[in-house]
Amino acid sequence: MNADLRTVSICTGIGGLELGIKTVAKTRTVMYVENELTAIQILVKRMEEGNLEVAPIWSDLKTFRGTDLHGRVDLLVGGFPCQPFSTAGKRKGAEDERNLWPEVRRIAEELGHPTLFLENVNSITEYYYHTIRPELQEMGYRTTEGLFSAREVGLP
């Protein structure tokens, strides 16, 4: 692959997904969206060190608009918040105000339906199969999913 895949990273955290994807694809992140100050500080440090591409950081997923990048992004990547679905939380699912799936969908539409690489917890499975997957398919996406343990990807 010679050309960089232009990427928008949402719910970026400290850039772990972006670093992982770089091991298998040539990407160029053009925008990060992250609201946690500590994570933003780490992202800036990783950019300064040359480990992540220098790109703007938008601090609120709900106000980010992909329309300015419509058709110019190849990949939307993110691990949107798991708290609404996590077994460690209140398990409010779709009713939890932290459920950002509707925002992820909106951004994918605004960007012009780039390839998606999304990550979340195992306990989102029911919501995924009843809501996310059907909505993606309605948008014209062909879906592939997997459930991987930390051990399977080489972590303790």
Q: Please calculate the CA angle 36-117-59 and round it to the nearest 5 degrees.
A: 20
- Tell me the two tokens of residue 23: 């091991």
**Which one of the listed residues 82, 104, 108, 111 is annotated catalytic?**
82
Nearest to 120 by CA among 97, 98, 142: 98
For the chain, how are helix, strand and coil distributed in percent, rounded to 5? 35, 15, 50
Q: Quick check: is 11 catalytic?
A: no
H runs (alpha helix) in the chain: 16-21, 37-49, 101-111, 125-127, 133-138
Residues annotated as catalytic (active site), given as ranges: 82
